Structure 1
Amino acid sequence: MAAEASPLPGYYRFHARIYDATRWSFLFGRDRLVRLAAEAVARDGLERPVRAAEVGCGTGRNLLALSRALPGASLTGVDLCRPMLERAGRTVSRTACAATLRCAAYGPDTFAPGSLELIIFSYALTMFNPGWDTALEAAREHLAPGGILAVVDFHNTPAGWFRAWMGVNHVRLDGHLVPELQSRFQPCRHEARPAYGGLWRYFLFLGRK
């Protein structure tokens, strides 16, 4: 997703200021994803520090949680939106989280092939329109053999008006991601859960390269 083609930097120029104060009310499953991803990687018993990245790291909330779940891990946060990354920088600077932050569009050249044991997408892929398929192919290339891809995101909704409203907010909500994840990665875990009485569903996916 090219930086110059994306509307997201402008969108988050305002939303970065209120993101953590508001998103807890509908970005469900993030803590569970971090915990399950850390457990999956830890079970592999790597002798070197885990190399992990979050694509669309936003304010750094998940990086902080990941640093606690995987002490000593080498963490990188990638985000296209500088206002969000500036918030992430302040988040990690006040803690023991030693994450590297990169302001860039995620793509094939972001990391070296096979250089990561874990890649996380948390409510990011449904906003990569176009570009979600390129991001998945890049993630597969960047993961080492046996590496884990961990995703939590919006899945679908029966309400046409809500799908349209989410589209205004740059989110595609039509269930397109899960089949593509399952076709590219060996599924380890897949959950789909309702939110707000079934107004929409979100999903959690862990897959292995």
Structure 2
Amino acid sequence: MTSDHGRLMDDVYRVQRRFYDITRKHYLLGRDHLITQMDVRPGQSVLEIACGTGRNLALIRARHPQARLHGLDISEQMLISARRTLGLRATLVRADACRFDPETLFGRRHFDHIVFSYSLSMIPDWQGALDEAMRHLAPGGTLHVVDFGDQHRLPRWVRAGLRAWLARFHVTPRDALPGALRNLPHLALHQAPLYRGYAQYARLTRRP
């Protein structure tokens, strides 16, 4: 599976993946908050969409060793790092977040937990990715999201500088994300800004 976006991401991360986790911990804030809020029961399935280096899945496994872990990413370069991080502890595949067949890729139709961690801001059709995730979220399952927020409580010059810098890496904060999540079919939805709006966190439970 190849695409223009996949080739772009491979070009971006061919070198960056080697030091990605060291540098990103300083500004991908809220990832650990998402993980600590996850209630994964033994045997439940977790899918991270755009799993990157596998850093989040490794931490989820440390907290929930009996979870069944799955990850997909459009960048084969990132999956090289993820496979080194996770080995046989997760099933990892190359796939497009907006269009994938979980039965073919993972041998299952639905997942109990689906995670988007700082990935929607890099997916051009991020709303399509959310819709695709919901199609594969089990009834009663939980969607977990953390990403850049609108930075509404930060000084205007900080917000402008941050967004200009992020754009250099093909990252666009999704200010419309809270509304898009409210429009998804759900039983319960919890949303919260983090770090004065620097990041946004959400947890959505699908109707049974």
The TM-score bracket by the shorter chain reads: 0.7 to 0.9
The two structures, once aligned, show a CA RMSD in angstroms of 2.0
Instruction: Classify the secondary structure of the residue corresponding to 1:172.
Output: coil
1:28 is displaced (CA, Å) by: 0.9
Cα pair distance change 1:79/1:174, threshold 3 Å: closer
Matched, 1:146 2:145: no
- Please give the alpha-carbon distance, in whole angstroms, between the structure 1 residues aligned to 2:72 and 2:66: 19
For normalisation by structure 1, the TM-score amounts to 0.84
- Please give the alpha-carbon distance, in whole angstroms, between the structure 2 residues aligned to 1:179 and 1:114: 27
1:3 is displaced (CA, Å) by: 4.1
For normalisation by structure 2, the TM-score amounts to 0.85
What letter matches 2:119 in structure 1?
A: A
Structure 2: which 5+ residue stretches go unaligned? none
What letter matches 2:100 in structure 1?
A: D
Per-residue CA shift, 1:135-170, capped at 9, x if unaligned?
111111001111100011001234334322212211
The aligned residue for residue 59 of structure 1 is 53
Per-residue CA shift, 1:149-195, capped at 9, x if unaligned?
0011001234334322212211112512121112215344211023x
Cα pair distance change 1:185/1:67, threshold 3 Å: farther
1:114 is displaced (CA, Å) by: 5.0
Structure 1: which 5+ residue stretches go unaligned? 43-47
The aligned residue for residue 118 of structure 1 is 113
The aligned residue for residue 160 of structure 2 is 160
- Please give the alpha-carbon distance, in whole angstroms, between the structure 2 residues aligned to 1:80 and 1:152: 19
Q: How many residues align?
A: 193
Instruction: Classify the secondary structure of the residue corresponding to 1:25.
Output: coil
Matched, 1:208 2:189: no
Instruction: Classify the secondary structure of the residue corresponding to 2:199.
Output: strand
Select between 164-173 and 77-86 the one with higher mean Cα deviation.
164-173
1:109 is displaced (CA, Å) by: 2.9
- Please give the alpha-carbon distance, in whole angstroms, between the structure 1 residues aligned to 2:109 and 2:149: 28
The answer (yes or no) to whether the contact 1:114–1:141 under 8 Å persists in 2 is: no
Cα pair distance change 1:179/1:26, threshold 3 Å: same
